[in-house]
Every structure is written in C-alpha cells, then in structure tokens.
A = this chain, B = another copy of it.
Amino acid sequence: MKLKIGLIGLGIMGKPMAKNLLKAGHELVVYDVVEAPLRELEKLGAKIGRSSKAVAEQSDLVITMLPDSPDVEKAALGSQGVFEGIKSGSTYIDMSTISPVTSKKLAEAGKAKNLKILDAPVSGGEKGAIEASLTIMVGGPKAVFDECLPLFQVLGKNIVYCGGVGAGQVVKACNQILVAGVLESAGEALVLGAKAGVDPQIVFKVIASGWAMRVLDARVPLLLKRDFKPGFKTRLHYKDLSIALSAGSEYGVSLPVTSLIREMMGAMKVAGRGDFDHSGIITVLEDLAKFEVKA
C-alpha cells in the first residue's frame, strides 16, 4: 500500500532512508533544519514541509529520525511540532536512538489523539541506511508493529519486535553497550599486543576470528537456563586477565576495562563461583541489580 509519509530529520541516516521510501513508491513530505538535504529530496520528488507540524498535517504516517532525546521532544511535542499537526488516529514512528523514558513520554502524549506510536531505533549505520539493510528494533503495540512491518521492510532487513513502548530503545541501548565493549576491549588488546612487539595484524586476525566472536552463541543459551557448568572456569579467566595486566604493567600499557573485569571475576571467586563458566560473570551484575536473568 502506498502511503503519505512525513519524515523529519534528513541527516546521515534520515536522508538515505527518505530515498528508499521514495523508491518504494510512497509519497513523502520532509522537514529538516538544514536546507541542502531538503532541496536534494525535493529533486527526487519529495514535498518540503515548513515545520514538523506542517509535515504531520500532510501525512498519514510520521517518522522522526533525529540525533537525541531533546531533538525528538522538540520536534514532536514542541511548538510547531508533530503533535500539533498530526491527524487523530494516525501513526507516529520515532526511529531516533533516544531514551526509553522519552519514548514512553511520547506514547503517553499520543493517547489524547489516539495515535499509534512505535519506537523503532536502528543499527547498521549509514551503509545500512543506504542499502536498506538496517536492523530495526521496535517497541509499542504488536498490532501497530504488524501494520508497519511492510514499511520497515523498505528500510531494513532484520526487523525485530522487542515488546511494549520503549522496548525498541532498550534493546538498542543493549546493542550499543556490547558494541562499545567490543571496541574498547579490542583496543586494549591491540595496544597491549603492539606495544609488546606483536604485529597488530596478527592480534587482529586472532581476536576477531577467535572465541570472542563465538562465545555468546555458545554460552548465552546455557546462561538463560542458569547453566554455568564450565566450559572455561572463571578462576582461570581471572588468572589470564592477571597475566594480561602484568604484561600491561611490564610493557607500559593501561588496561582500564580489563582491570575492572578482573576485579569482577575476583568477586566471582569470593562468592564461591570461581568454578562457574566465565559467562557467569553476569551473576556479579545480577547481584548488583538484585535481579536474575532467565529465559
């Protein structure tokens, strides 16, 4: 079904997404505070709205794709914003990466106009946006998700329904936690290896194709059944990180995250869990959160 879609935010992500929506045959009204991408999209057949409100007035479905929570709040709830123009009963999808708390605020505000609201942050970067291969993590009512699925399929490949309002943002935050952890730990590995005299290409080759990239698939299903039989014992990983830190000390390399994780594995030993599989490090976090993760 061809829709009249309003898209607010034509940045690195929004602009290629807009192009994909046009390519799929949808009518598009766009708005951005920057002029150049508006003109570019106009040439491709999009209409230009004068404000978020104006975009919403001319659309059956509104999407925002903006940098941060305050930007989305302003575009949606502010003066000349989406909520001033949007038709009662229509759909509003925020695809920005923002706080789940803000997503809930939007959903709450949408009740007065009986809006169908989803939070649908993406991952995959500019390349994913251009190639329409984004992962899209969606929170909100399941029926609205089902309705919007064909639209998401124009923009991405891996479309995941995550749960109620804000769940998309929560899963996106989880994703960013792991991406950051991988980059930081790989950074520590590369600096230690290189300063200790090993060719960084070799370190890269070993770590990027090694157990780190397989351990989640191997261990998380067991973890979710609370099965912490090793595998690889936490106390041995503690020993290995002690070796890494000694080597760091020897070669003059600070390993802040490795140091912190070693202490957490040390806490495992203190808690009598040194013989748990190293995936059991999650139990230290669970202790802190007074909460247990179970499938």
Contact = CB atoms under 8 A, between A and B. Distances in A.
Interface string A209-222: 11111011101110
Given A171-B203, A174-B192, A220-B204, A100 B247 contact: yes
A180 B174 contact: no
Interface of A is mostly: helix
A85 interface: no
B181 A184 contact: yes
Given A176-B244, A177-B185, A199 B285 contact: no
Interface of A: 67-69, 97-101, 123-126, 135, 137, 158, 160, 162-164, 166-167, 169-213, 215-217, 219-221, 223-224, 231-232, 236-237, 239-241, 243-244, 246-247, 250, 252-258, 260-262, 264-265, 278-279, 281-282, 284-286, 288-291, 293-295
Given A171-B207, A253-B289, 19 more contacts: A68-B239, A97-B239, A171-B202, A173-B192, A173-B240, A174-B206, A175-B207, A177-B241, A180-B241, A180-B281, A182-B185, A183-B278, A183-B282, A184-B264, A185-B185, A186-B216, A195-B289, A253-B291, A256-B264
